[in-house]
Amino acid sequence: MSGNEACAEGAIAAGCMFFAGYPITPATEIMEHMARRMPEVGGVFLQCEDEISSIASVIGAVLAGAKGMTATSGPGFSLMQENLGWAVMCEVPCVIVNCQRTGPSTGLPTRVSQGDVMQSLWGRHGDGMIIALAPASPQEMFELTIKAFNIAETYRAPVILLADEEVAHMRERVEVPEYDELNIVWRRNPRTSKKDFLPFKADRRGIPPPLPSLGSGYHVLFTGLSHDERGYPIDDPEKHLKLVRRLRDKVINNSKRFTFLEKRRHENSRIAVISYGTVSRVALKAVVEAKREGISVDYLRLITVWPFPYDEVLKMAENVDHILVPELNAGQIYHSVAEAVRGEADVLPVMGIARQFTPREILGEIKKLA
């Protein structure tokens, strides 16, 4: 399958029954695949007039009781930010796929990029924490789409699948397990009575109860305004601070449960490479080639990009002198890596725009430090 096809099939395996989208390179194939597959599985496909209505429609479908997803790229992702902020505030479990392409603006629509990494975290006004996963293969497009739905349902939060053009259009073998082997988190009904139900009353983990389906008899008010446990608007700075802290803490405090990493450590390494997405495949090849030439290099791949794994990066920094951060942008995750290492190692960005690195290029940067 292509990565986009694998993403669509992963969504269906996860129980997605509603997809809304608008065509945009390089994510269009997800929409086209869902247009064919949604009716086959009893779901609903909606082509919208733009990306704003796409994510709004997904949010509405989720509040009605369905699992929902949309897919886009940089310009469309920009348009989705306001409604994505609403989903964060109202704790709506949905999945947004962003197949990144080169910008700014329309840029080069068919060229690979990782330019939306910081936007995925900080694109919305106000404070809040987002969850973002970065696949590096069609297999992971399938698997991480399922994980994204599971995380969204478990923590009642929107989740971003932060792909890139190359993994979207890459074609590789994808192994699909038998359906009963998949671990799927399904929407549960609230356990409290309709009379006592508080849609935003969090448990000890900071997570509110599952969303009741529309028409099930539960009365829920959703508003982007600051609200109490009933969902009713409030105008109290202290209560708002408490709400914002909970929205952040429910993600950060539970992040170890959905922080996925790939690590390779070597004795006596002085250099490390930290990467994510398709760049990590090139970086790993460079690390292997460096080892053949007698240069030991540690390797860390971020599969979960947000929340950022500060502790893991600091552990790596304590054992090396230099950290290379190759990215298909002008340096974005580089800043989080530099913040995490606390001066324990030099952090050096390796910037690429509009084209993928070669292993030789990253190996050349490694040799400069060896």
DSSP 278: T
Q: For the chain, give me the number of helices (H) and strands (E)? A: 12, 13
Residue 220: other Cβ atoms inside 10 A:
17
Do 185 and 291 sit in the same domain of this protein? no
From residue 271, alpha-carbon distances to 196, 267, 328, 330 in Å are 57, 11, 20, 21
Asked which of 235, 258, 281 is the last residue of a domain, the reply is 258
Q: Do residues 143 and 98 share a domain?
A: yes
CB atoms near residue 226 (< 10 Å): 17
Q: How buried is residue 344: exposed, middle or buried, by Cβ count under 10 Å (0-12/13-18/19+)?
A: middle
Amino acid at 87: A
Please identify which residue in the block is written with the tokens 């709506």: 92
Q: What is the pLDDT of residue 21?
A: 98
Domain co-membership, 240 together with 266: no
Helices marked H in the chain: 3-13, 28-40, 51-64, 74-90, 117-122, 138-155, 165-169, 237-252, 279-292, 310-317, 333-341, 359-369
Give me the residue label for tokens 């038998």: 178
| Number of Cβ atoms within 10 Å of the Cβ of 201 | 13
Cβ 161 vs Cβ 95: under 8 Å: yes
Domain that holds residue 307: 261-369
Sign of torsion over alpha carbons 101, 106, 107, 108: positive
Out of 237, 258, 279, pick the residue that ends a domain. Answer: 258
Note the pTM of the prediction, 2 decimals. Answer: 0.97
What's the pLDDT at 172? 98
Is 300 in the same domain as 211?
Answer: no
User: Which pLDDT score, from 0 to 100, does residue 191 have?
Assistant: 87
Residues 34, 45 contacting (CB under 8 angstroms): yes
Instruction: Give the C-alpha separation, 207 to 257, whole Å.
Output: 14
pLDDT in tens, the chain (370 residues): 999 999 999 999 999 999 999 999 999 999 999 999 999 999 999 999 999 999 999 999 999 999 999 999 999 999 999 999 999 999 999 999 999 999 999 999 999 999 999 999 999 999 989 999 999 999 999 999 999 999 999 999 999 999 999 999 999 999 999 999 999 999 988 888 999 999 999 999 999 999 998 888 898 999 999 999 999 999 999 999 999 999 999 999 999 999 999 999 988 899 999 999 999 999 999 999 999 999 999 999 999 999 999 999 999 999 999 999 999 999 999 999 999 999 999 999 999 999 999 999 999 999 999 9
* Final residue of a structural domain among 221, 243, 258: 258
Residue type, 96: I
Same-domain status, 247 and 340: no
Q: Quick one: pLDDT at residue 42?
A: 98
Q: Residue 27 maps to which CATH number?
A: 3.40.50.970
Q: Quick one: tokens of 228?
A: 């109490």
pLDDT of residue 92: 98
The one-letter code for the residue type at 41 is V
Cα–Cα distance measured from residue 317 to residue 322, given in angstroms and rounded to the nearest whole number: 8
Q: Tokens for 217?
A: 């008899």
β partners of residue 102? 108
Beta bridge partners of 171: 2
What is the residue type of 9? E
Q: What is the CATH number of the domain that holds 301?
A: 3.40.50.920
> If you ran DSSP here, which 8-state letter would residue 253 be given?
T
Q: Are 221 and 232 in contact (CB under 8 A)?
A: yes
Domains in the chain, number: 2
Which pLDDT score, from 0 to 100, does residue 293 have? 96
Cα distance between residue 116 and residue 138, in whole Å: 20
Say yes or no: 308 and 250 in one domain.
no
Between 3-13 and 28-40, two packed helices, what is the crossing angle to 10 degrees? 40
254 & 266 share domain:
no
Question: Rounded to an integer, what distance in angstroms lies between the CA atom of residue 346 and that of residue 323?
Answer: 6
Structure tokens given for 153: 């349902």
Q: Which amino acid is at 56?
A: A
